[in-house]
Amino acid sequence: MDPIIIIRSAILLISSILLLMSAMGILRFKDDVPRVLYARIHILGVADLACIIALLTLYEPLLAATYFILAPFAAHAIANAYYYGEEDHD
């Protein structure tokens, strides 16, 4: 078997484990915890990293670079909208 295929498979397996761990982290936090949105956004950073690694492994560098650039902007926009929003977020 080709060693490149084994390495790519291992990297995709690690990425999928990171995605599952971040999903469990998202579900673990209850809504009654103060500032839970910021914790959830931090956990989604792990999922973003796993997706970027998976895209690079699947030979999609342009899509991975685009995701690498746009994902932090989206997370910041969500956190900023929550912070300055009309909701009671205490």
Q: What's the CA gap between 84 and 53, in Å, rounded?
A: 33
Q: What's the CA gap between 86 and 66, in Å, rounded?
A: 31
Q: Tokens 């999903």 sit at which residue?
A: 23
| Domain parsing of the chain, residue ranges | 3-84
Q: How would you class 50 by CB atoms within 10 Å of its CB: exposed for 0-12, middle for 13-18, buried for 19 or more?
A: buried
Please give the C-alpha separations between residue 32 and each of 50, 59, 78, in angstroms, as whole numbers: 28, 42, 19
The model's pLDDT over 18-52, given as tens digits with 9 standing for 90+, comes to 888 888 878 887 777 777 888 888 888 888 888 89
Residue 89, pLDDT > 60, answer no
